[in-house]
Amino acid sequence: MIKQMLAVGVLSLLITHQIFAQCVKGDCQNGYGKFQYKSGAAYEGNFKKGQIHGQGVLYFSNGDKYIGQWENRYREGKGKLTFHNGDIYQGNFVRNEFNGHGVISFANGDEYDGNFVDGQFQDEGIMVYANGDKYIGEWKNNKRHGVGKLVLANGEVQEGDWEKDNYATEEMPPMVDNSLELTDRNLRICNEVYCESGKGVYNYPDGAQYIGSFEGGKPSGHGTCYYANGDKYIGYWQNHGPNGEGVFTYKNSGRTIAAIWLDGEAIRPLETLTAGTLGEEIPVEETEEVKIWSVVVGVSTYQHMPALRFTDDDAYRFYAFLKSPEGGALHNDQIRLLIDEDATRNNILSALQETLLKADENDVIVFYYSGHGLEGSFIPVDYDGFNNRVLHDEIKQVFEKSKAKHKIIFADACYSGSLLAMKSVVNNTLEKYYGSFRDSKGGLAFFTSSQGEEISLEDGGLRQGIFTHFLIRGLNGEADVNQDKIVTIQEIADFVSKGVRKYTAKVQTPVLTGNYDANMPVAVIR
């Protein structure tokens, strides 16, 4: 099944590569360029010794698309393959095949998260079916095989041995697991027994279920409440409601509130987290030339937040822009890309320090983030509903410490407006671009996708975040109002704000703020 999908167009693509491929843009030998194939396929990304190698995007002639890592023309490393039928695979590749850990989301609503061997489900994996069933266990050749557990949508459980997709164990009595929190299914039901202390489950008459600590027979302490309408609360609980520090997620809107709660009411934003401190000193790379240093982050897959559809693609597109001549043709040692499982709190903060603090007084630093945001913070992949936020103040520390003359943040996230509280030919083309940095007074510019508590929107028709869609369009030339072949920070802000406000009927309003030169360049047009 998986192999058949992958095989589409691969052989013809490689043959076309050898015979008909032609470079239509950039450096297709040892740099960044674009290949156009006679079959209609196209590749844009990095090359080494004339081979596809590094980070790049391949658009298949049949409508499939691969974004990720390459090695000697093979998909090798981490990447994302989107099939024209709507199936999407994200994970590890070895010589074009799914190998190692990956996640495949099928167009019919099924999703497999686990290990692959040569394109097939193998060893440990989890399949969540569109009908609400869930299987956790061993696989062999795309079939449930070995020890595993199937939790049906109605709460019944089949646990034991499986053989070629069939349940092989002697029939067991059904076990009810209302919350589907499998690790907790053997906890005491504290409606039925007295729970003096420890952990247990309490089922409310309206369908809500609390799993967590008990004191004196009542839910009290840290726990999780699953509401009947799909809402979820993680935090401190007392008097049958949120009391103390906690995070509430609303299913319908996807909005998440981290706050101090009193009898179920949020009385003030959660401010107990403190910004981390900067690590060891990073040596500044002192040179006469202007360099651009950048960290690009995109998070779409969350365990404790609603999944986002296009944020990883948005990050790849922005990364591709920075690697292109229009974005500065950054070398690999000047840019860090963190997507999904790589975008942990520690990895983001380390990348910011290790990359941006290398800049000297002539340089430019750029941080791009696409993903969930909460008040005063960005949400990395390892956010557990309570811990591991990346605070805006932590990013501010890095930017304030950097010696760079030009400092730019592009944030496509909900509540990113709270950043506003922080004060403080190709060769000829690149020469013009870097020269314009020398002429600018520089400064620190924050360009955020929304103001205050606004939500940042994605759009299925655009298949992008709306902010990033207009950002990339503007950087590629549409924002160059005076047609001087340089896009300035003010021009991009005007273009994106106008486009986003019009597209969202003024629901979302991007904001540019900071202490910056309005003529600070952000892109060059060839």
CATH of residue 476: 3.40.50.1460
Judge whether residue 373 has pLDDT over 60: yes
457, 463 in Cβ contact below 8 A? Answer: no
What integer pLDDT is reported at residue 201 of this predicted model?
Answer: 92
Average pLDDT over residues 465-482: 87
Are residue 368 and residue 443 in the same domain, yes or no? yes
Which of the listed residues 238, 269, 300 is the one where a domain comes to its end?
269
Mean pLDDT to the nearest integer, 431-437:
56
Does one domain contain both 373 and 250?
no
Q: Which two tokens stand for residue 62?
A: 């049949």
**Structural domain tally of the chain?**
3
Share the mean pLDDT of the chain. 79
Same domain, 407 and 321: yes
- Amino acid (one-letter) located at 16: T
Q: What is the pLDDT of residue 448?
A: 67
Q: How many CB atoms lie within 10 A of CB 208?
A: 16
| Tokens standing for residue 55 | 């980070």
For tokens 């192999």, the residue is 3
CATH code where residue 83 lies? 2.20.110
Residue 107 in any domain: the answer is yes
Is residue 219 domain-shared with residue 312, that is, in the same domain?
no
Cβ of 369: how many Cβ atoms within 10 Å?
Answer: 31
**Span 422-444, mean pLDDT?**
51
Residue 27 lies in a domain: yes
Q: DSSP label at 206?
A: T
Answer yes or no: do 299 and 386 share one domain: yes
Lowest mean pLDDT among 134-148, 399-413, 436-450: 436-450
- Distance from C-alpha of 211 to C-alpha of 271, rounded to nearest angstrom: 25
Query: Any idea what DSSP says for residue 374?
Result: E
Whether residue 457 sits in one domain with residue 338:
yes
Range with top average pLDDT, 219-223, 413-417, 432-436 = 219-223
Both tokens assigned to 308? 């986002």
Measure the CA–CA gap between 257 and 245, rounded to whole angstroms.
11
Instruction: Determine contact, residues 120/3, Cβ cutoff 8 Å.
Output: yes
Residue 158 lies in a domain: no
The whole-number average pLDDT for the span 30-40 is 87
Q: In this structure, are 213 and 308 located in the same domain?
A: no
Asked, for residue 237, whether it belongs to a domain, the answer is yes
Q: Does residue 433 surpass a pLDDT of 60?
A: no
The alpha helices in 217-361, defined as continuous H runs, are 311-323, 345-351
Q: Do residues 451 and 352 both lie within one domain?
A: yes
* Domain co-membership, 355 together with 254: no
Q: Do 423 and 492 share a domain, yes or no?
A: yes
Q: Which domain holds residue 312?
A: 292-524
Taking alpha carbons only, the member of 412, 72, 99, 109 closest to residue 81 is 99
If one compares 391 and 451, the residue with the highest pLDDT of the two is 391
Q: Is the pTM of this model over 0.85?
A: no
* 171 in any annotated domain: no
Sheet holding 256-262, edge to edge: 188-189, 199-203, 209-215, 218-226, 232-238, 241-249, 256-262, 265-269
Residue 484: per-residue pLDDT: 87
